[in-house]
């Protein structure tokens, strides 16, 4: 049974171009300092929503919503994700997934049920532990990226940029690596302090130049580049 830490009844931003409900899955193995949902990191939350309650809500929204996004936390951390997606698809909804790709085998298992993926790539893969606090996380994230690219599922790859964690030159280098891997749609998004519990990161988030300037350097690498500043 899926452990759910939150539910957004309607979102237009979590799956671009779609009217979607967002199911926030409880639990994440990484400890990114800029995480804006720290309450979803523990495997068990304080305010879990029963999965049956989520299904009951979705039944009332049939014909009103385009899809359901499984977000987190990290949805693929839970073995129950596959069955949950099957139940949601049986109700007639399209399925979106937000993931960091850290469970590539489980990601591969659910991708046939998924219509769109928002894949977070946090840093150059060799430097992942600096962001996640977990050794070996870059190798797992890279394997997750390859699974998404091989699946043919529509997706965007996105990177959150905090100026003290990821220099502009590192973003550009990462973008070149992603383009060489076959990524077509890349998003860079500015750090936002909402929800972040790291006081130092919140205090030291001022950029020397606009993030849009970095996006301009990347435009020739991809079919589509977006900057969410």
- pLDDT (tens digit per residue) in 42-66: 999 888 999 999 999 999 999 999 9
Instruction: Give tens-digit pLDDT for 118-144.
Output: 999 999 999 999 999 999 999 999 999
Give the C-alpha distances (Å, rounded to integers) separating 92 from 34, 59, 154. 35, 10, 19
What is the Cα–Cα distance from 49 to 5, expressed in whole angstroms?
6
What is the Cα–Cα distance from 71 to 91, expressed in whole angstroms?
19
CATH code of domain 4-228 = 3.20.20.70
| Contact present, 22 and 12 (Cβ < 8 Å) | no
Residues sharing a CB contact under 8 Å with residue 33, sequence separation 6 or more, in sequence order: 131, 165, 196, 198, 201
Instruction: Give tens-digit pLDDT for 97-113.
Output: 999 999 999 999 999 99
| Contact present, 96 and 14 (Cβ < 8 Å) | yes
What is the Cα–Cα distance from 174 to 183, expressed in whole angstroms?
11
Q: Residue 46 has what pLDDT?
A: 83
Would you list the domain boundaries of the chain?
4-228
- Residue 229's pLDDT band (cuts 50, 70, 90): confident
Instruction: Give tens-digit pLDDT for 17-46.
Output: 999 999 999 999 999 999 999 999 999 988
Mean pLDDT, the chain, integer: 96
Q: Residue 148 has what pLDDT?
A: 98
């Amino acid at each position: 049974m899926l452990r759910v830490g939150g539910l957004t009844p309607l979102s237009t931003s979590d799956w671009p171009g779609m009217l979607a409900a967002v199911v926030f899955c409880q639990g994440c193995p990484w400890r990114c300092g800029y995480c804006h949902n720290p309450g979803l990191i523990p495997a068990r939350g304080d305010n879990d929503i029963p999965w049956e309650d989520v299904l009951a809500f979705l039944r009332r929204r049939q014909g009103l919503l385009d899809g359901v996004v499984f977000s987190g936390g990290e949805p693929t951390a839970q073995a129950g994700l596959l069955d949950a997606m099957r139940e949601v698809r049986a109700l007639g909804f399209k399925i979106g997934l937000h993931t960091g790709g850290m469970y590539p085998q489980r990601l591969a298992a659910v991708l046939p049920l998924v219509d769109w993926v928002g894949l977070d790539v946090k840093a150059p893969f060799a430097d992942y532990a600096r962001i996640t606090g977990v050794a070996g996380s870059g190798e797992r994230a890279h394997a997750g990226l390859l699974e998404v690219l091989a699946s043919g599922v529509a997706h965007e790859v996105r990177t959150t940029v905090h100026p003290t964690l990821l220099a502009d030159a590192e973003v550009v280098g990462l973008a070149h690596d992603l383009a060489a891997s076959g990524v077509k749609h890349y998003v860079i998004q500015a750090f936002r302090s909402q929800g972040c519990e790291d006081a130092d990161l919140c205090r030291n988030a001022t950029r020397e130049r606009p993030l849009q300037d970095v996006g301009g350097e990347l435009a020739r690498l991809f079919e589509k580049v977006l900057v969410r500043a």
